Chain A
Amino acid sequence: MIIAALEVLGLLASLGTIALVARAPSASPGASSSLVRRALLGLVGLLAFGHLANVLEAFGLEWADTIADQFSALVPLVWGLFLLESGRVYLSARLQASDEQVRFFLEAVPAAVAWIDAGQNVLGFSRAWAEALPGSRSGVALKTLLPAPLPRLAHAVEETLRDGSERELAPVEESAEDDAGRKRYFRWSIRPWVHPDRPAPGALLLFEEVTFEHEAEAERLAAADGLARIQRMAHVGQMAAGAAHDFNNFLQVIYSATVELEGDARYEDAFKNVQSALGAAGELTRGLLRFGQEPTTSSAKVDLVTLLREFERPLGYALGRRHRLEVKLPRLEQVQIEGRPSRIQQALLNLAINARDAMPNGGAIQVALAVESGQATLSVHDSGVGIPQSLRERLFTPFFTTKGVQGSGLGLNVVKTVVEEHRGQITVSSDPHRGTTFSLCLPLFEARSQASGTGAVSSQSRTIAPQ
Chain B
Amino acid sequence: MGHPPFDKRELAVLFAALLLAALSAYYHRDLRRIPEWRLLLAGIVFLIIGSTSTVVEHFALYDVFNTIEHLSYLAQSLMLALWALRARRVRA
Contact = CB atoms under 8 A, between A and B. Distances in A.
A240 B87 CA distance: 95
Nearest to A80: B20
Of B27, B66, B84, most buried by chain A (CB within 10 Å of CB) is: B84
B71 to A, nearest CB: 6
A10 B23 CA distance: 26
A26 B88 contact: yes
A83 B71 contact: no
B77 A17 contact: yes
Nearest to B32: A87
Nearest to A98: B92
B15 to A, nearest CB: 9
B20 A30 contact: no
Given A76-B20, A79-B20, A90-B33, A13 B88 contact: no
B55 interface: no
Kindly name the residue among A43, A54, A75 whose own CB sees the greatest number of chain B CB atoms within 10 A.
A75
Contacts of B60: none
B30 A87 contact: yes
A75 B47 contact: yes
A30 B34 contact: yes
Contacts of B74: 6-7, 9-10, 13, 51
Range of interface residues on B (Cβ < 8 Å): 35 or more
A51 to B, nearest CB: 7
B85 interface: yes
A13 B81 contact: yes
A28 B91 contact: yes
A47 B10 CA distance: 15
B80 A93 contact: no
Contact of B34 (A50, A54, A80, A90): A90
A46 B57 CA distance: 22
B42 interface: no
B80 A3 contact: no
Interface in B16-75: 16-17, 19-20, 23-24, 27, 30-31, 33-35, 40, 43-44, 47, 51, 66-67, 70-71, 73-74
Given A30-B92, A90-B92, A75 B13 contact: yes
Contact of B84 (A40, A72, A94): A40
B65 to A, nearest CB: 12
Contacts of B73: 7, 10, 47, 50-51
29 contacts: A3-B67, A6-B70, A7-B70, A10-B74, A10-B77, A13-B74, A13-B80, A16-B81, A20-B81, A20-B85, A26-B89, A28-B90, A29-B92, A30-B92, A31-B87, A47-B76, A47-B77, A48-B77, A73-B16, A75-B47, A76-B13, A79-B43, A80-B20, A87-B30, A87-B34, A90-B34, A90-B35, A90-B92, A91-B30
Given A76-B19, A83-B40, 5 more contacts: A7-B70, A17-B77, A17-B80, A28-B89, A70-B9
Interface of B: 7, 9-10, 12-13, 16-17, 19-20, 23-24, 27, 30-31, 33-35, 40, 43-44, 47, 51, 66-67, 70-71, 73-74, 76-78, 80-81, 84-85, 87-92
